[in-house]
Structure 1
Amino acid sequence: MSLNSSLHVAGRSLEVFSAGLSVAGQNIANANTPGYVREELKINANTPFKVGQHIFGTGVYVEGIQQQIDLFLETRIHTANGDLAHAEARSDIFLALETTLNELGDSDLSTALSDFSSALNNLANEPDDLTLRSLVVQQGEELARDVTDLRLRIDELRSQQSLNLDNLVQEANELIDEIDRLNPQIARLEASGLLQSDAGALRTQRYQALERLSEIVPVRFQERSDGGVDVFSGSNWLVLGGSTQHLETFKTADRGISITSVQYATTQQVLSEGAGEIRGIIDGRDEILGSFVDDLDTLTTNLIGAFNEVYTSGEGLAGHTSLTGQTEVADPTLALNAAGLSFTPRHGSFEVKLVNLGTGAIETTEITVDLDGIGGANTTLNDLQAALDGIINLSATVDPLGRLQLSTTDGYEVRFANDSSGTLASLGINTFFTGTDSGDFGINANVKADPNLLATGRGGGPGDNKNIVALQTFLEDDQIDLGGQSLRGFYELTVAEVAQQSAAASSLRSGSDAFVASLQSQKQQFSGVSLDQETIKMLEFQRAYQSAARLISTIDELYDVLLNV
């Protein structure tokens, strides 16, 4: 082997060891850079050559500079990220719901129900007392306001989640575009896979984009031979070759408000399952908050419907001279139990009492509501209007909105009793509460304006408290439609379940967080920068560089010897 060959080997060694120092310096410089993936110099022995009977080496060469990353571990991290983000979103929504309920303090619905029940109980002892009557109306109004205020707060929480979805979809689309933009840059820099070196900084950016995207929607990726990646979410693609598919939002109506849903823009498939922050927010909004709204509606609907059924059979200190039903009937020609009423009437009857204010004489008429489906047509709103209009000194009409209207002749007032059909409550005639659920819960304006109309008795005259006692008993009794719970018990159980489920969600979040931290620790060990290890490598390359330089110096001395011969 000639001195020239040895000099060539030494010179190439200087280049290799200098590159090693450069790579070590790059790693040390980025030791604290978030998401940085450690690079490693890959070196290999050069192809040897034969001289006579001997084979000589030709030194070393740089095979490439490659990132140290475990793609299988990266895939596990992406999956775990999605699970954690999903758990965090649900847990945050539970906490927001609990905060909303706790903000009510002593003004929660359980307290409001107790206060209303206490007001009824006090009135039962003195049913003719105007102050106590006004207090019942006031407590009923506060109860209705507490319910609607709580519903409004929950609706605002749900609407806020829809805004969060809009922001996340925008961020996800930006990440998809970033990955698509980085793919050709990486391919060009790596010569479409022909080079053995990685485009480190660009790949790091792409890994970071993929990791953040995995927190928003479930993703998996496949690297192509040219260095680009294809990205998939479930059965849909997000980046494929040079094409991208964005996410998009659309509006739907749910439980009385407009909400945002998410779908894949090209395939139009709704993002309906899986992990990720988007799915976690949707589940939290629709399942956690939505279920609470459902429970609140169940409570309110039962309170309105059942309370009014008891109430409508009672009488106040004064009767009505005119009444307009609270319920609009879309088609007055349909049977009442098939007309789509929120509170469905049943086969039965009720009594209408016309009171002569001058003489005190009472004319009672029984109105039959035929809804048994046996023989003859079932009662429609038009039938009911005609029957009521046939009562002397009482006029009945159906207004353009489909509401039943009643008015008496001057000198008369109308009262009601013994409604076994629930018709009066379903049509909103002589009721205390108005509305159908927690969104429109209120108090009858007539009773609010004149507490003397409050139906405390059942025709027994002054001191009659039979109806108010029945109403107070209803509030405290267990209800079949509430799973055997009282109104207050049902609400307290609902709140307790929220707390229990929130604790479970928090526990799941902690477990997911610990698992992600474990995987990130493994990634740091494999792909992260150890300053101690890099310092050792730097010293190794430094010593090797010094040795190669010494070899060149020795060869130079040998050349001097030859020149001086």
Structure 2
Amino acid sequence: MKTLFEISKSGLRAAERSLSVTSNNIINADTPGYTRQRVDKESVGMRMTGFHAGLGVNITSITRMRNDMTDVVLNEKRQDMGFLQEKSQIFDQLEASMASDSGGDLDVRIGRVFDMFSSLSSDPQDMSVRNSLLTEADQLTSKLSDISRNIDRTSNLVQDSANSTIENINQILQDLDTLNSAITKGESSGKPDHASLDMQVKKLEKLSGLVDFESQVTEKGALQLRVGGVLVLDEDKASTMRAEIDDVNKTFNLRLDSGKLVESTGGKLGADIEMYENGIPELKERLDEVASTLVDEFNTIHSQGYGLEDGNTRNFFDPSFTDASNIKVSDDIRANVGHIAASSADGEAGNGEIAGQLADLRNENVIGGRKLVDYSVDLISTPGRNLSEIRSGMEVRDSEISMLTAQQEREAGVNVDEELSMMIQYQNAYQGAARVMSAAQQMYDTLIGLTR
């Protein structure tokens, strides 16, 4: 008789707990990051003389229905996506800085200066042509300066973005450290903190878009994280990152509060660092190369010629300023366009040979084995070309993330219809256990009545 009571009591307890977990699943069906749970049960029995007797059911655990390996792969893909998205935004800004729809791009400005020298070679004494040449040269130097300034502005924005990202990473690491404490306490007591584990998944999802990391779980259930092979989160504490920036040499180092250097090559932070150290400086260097080539090539020819008013030779561009940020037409030319050298001989005002040589520079391979205009076209097209490649990579990663998310959702997501069906099953089990309890009670009452 006692066995019947124990069996029915265990059944009532198991059914009640299963109903509770299923109800919680249904209520959280639309809660972001929630992982459905299942009650794991096993039958209980004992061997008696000549037979084996069942003693009901025991609840062994409550399991989160989540594939941890899928989460690991998903976070790796999100790290790649965060890296590509940030580079896409930076190149988008650079493209807007270097190319426009107004028809005044760098290659056009260089071409117009060549055109004006060509016109000057045909009529060296035409002052209107000389004035137009000075105007076009000024617009060219202004264009170079504007692009250089915009590239510097983008570099500063990337630096600010990286600092902001580091703050977010530090905050998430602190949050994960707090969750580690709750999770390890639950594990040690034999009552896993599923809510904290779900929150941990959401925090890692957010972190994966910011920085590349490797994760593992300790024997105590605590999460460990490494960035570039360096431990930044352990079961005891979370490290704090800080940036060490050399704006002159364009280096960006990450240092932990422990003094160790960390190298990030993925996520938003990895993209910011790569673009700050390499991508943006490379574009700036190529732009400066255009400016210095203009100064050197034009001055070399121009200094061999003569203007309209005297026998002095002069530079066309100021040789003291050879960067895109400061290139300018020489003060002598700006003060008097008659000093623009068009003639190859002193006193021959109608000689346009030097102007013709300057115009012919258009067809010379003077920079990187290419013509100035062609090199400039390639330069201003670089951000757009990189954008195209990055967006192709983003489409691939987006497809992979969608597939893995759907795969995880099938396992961890709540299907309300399935949960309602199981709820009916547990209700029936509860009613069945109650009937067993009632039958046992009636049998017990009958036995008591017989003994009176």
Q: Do these two structures clear the TM 0.5 threshold for a shared fold by scoring above it?
A: yes
SS of equivalent residue, structure 1 residue 517: helix
Q: Offset of 1:170 from its aligned partner?
A: 0.5
Matched with 1:421 is none
8 Å CA contact retained: 1:159, 1:259: no
Q: Offset of 1:244 from its aligned partner?
A: 2.2
Render the CA deviation track for 1:142-181: whole Å, top value 9, x for unaligned: 0000111011112211211111101110111111111111
Matched with 2:174 is 177
Match of residue 225, structure 2, among 231, 234, 237? 231
In 2, Cα distance between the equivalents of 1:117 and 1:431?
Answer: 13
Say if 2:442 is the partner of 1:557.
yes
SS of equivalent residue, structure 1 residue 107: coil
Which of the two has higher C-alpha Rg?
1
1:337-486 to 2 correspondence within 5 Å? Answer: 415-416=312-313, 430-434=315-319, 435-458=321-344, 459-474=346-361, 476-483=362-369, 485-486=370-371
In 1, Cα distance between the equivalents of 2:123 and 2:12?
Answer: 106
Structure 1 unaligned segments of length 5 or more: list them. Answer: 320-352, 354-414, 417-428
Matched with 1:97 is 94
1:125-524 to 2 correspondence within 5 Å? Answer: 125-190=122-187, 192=188, 194-195=189-190, 197-254=191-248, 260-271=252-263, 274-319=265-310, 415-416=312-313, 430-434=315-319, 435-458=321-344, 459-474=346-361, 476-483=362-369, 485-524=370-409
SS of equivalent residue, structure 1 residue 113: helix
Letter aligned with residue 438 of structure 1: A
Paired-residue identity, %: 21
Letter aligned with residue 207 of structure 2: L
Say if 2:411 is the partner of 1:526.
yes
8 Å CA contact retained: 2:222, 2:234: no
In 2, Cα distance between the equivalents of 1:254 and 1:108?
Answer: 28
CA RMSD of aligned residues (A): 2.1
In 1, Cα distance between the equivalents of 2:318 and 2:372?
Answer: 15
SS of equivalent residue, structure 1 residue 230: strand
Letter aligned with residue 250 of structure 1: E
SS of equivalent residue, structure 2 residue 348: coil
Q: Offset of 1:562 from its aligned partner?
A: 2.5
Q: Offset of 1:430 from its aligned partner?
A: 3.6
8 Å CA contact retained: 1:69, 1:527: yes
8 Å CA contact retained: 2:145, 2:324: yes
TM-score by structure 1 length? 0.75
In 2, Cα distance between the equivalents of 1:543 and 1:270?
Answer: 58
Q: Offset of 1:100 from its aligned partner?
A: 3.0
In 1, Cα distance between the equivalents of 2:128 and 2:419?
Answer: 85
8 Å CA contact retained: 1:94, 1:288: no
In 1, Cα distance between the equivalents of 2:339 and 2:215?
Answer: 71
Matched with 2:20 is 22
Render the CA deviation track for 1:508-559: whole Å, top value 9, x for unaligned: 1111111121111211122221222212221111110111111112122223
Higher fraction of helix? 2
Render the CA deviation track for 1:246-301: whole Å, top value 9, x for unaligned: 2211221257xx675434442432425x3222112222344433332222122211
Matched with 1:10 is 8
In 2, Cα distance between the equivalents of 1:433 and 1:470?
Answer: 19
8 Å CA contact retained: 2:307, 2:349: no
SS of equivalent residue, structure 2 residue 398: helix
In 1, Cα distance between the equivalents of 2:176 and 2:23?
Answer: 28
TM-score by structure 2 length? 0.93
RCO higher in 1 or 2 (8 Å CA, sep ≥ 6)? Answer: 2
Structure 1 window deviating more from structure 2 (244-253 vs 143-152): it is: 244-253
8 Å CA contact retained: 1:172, 1:216: yes
Matched with 1:37 is 35
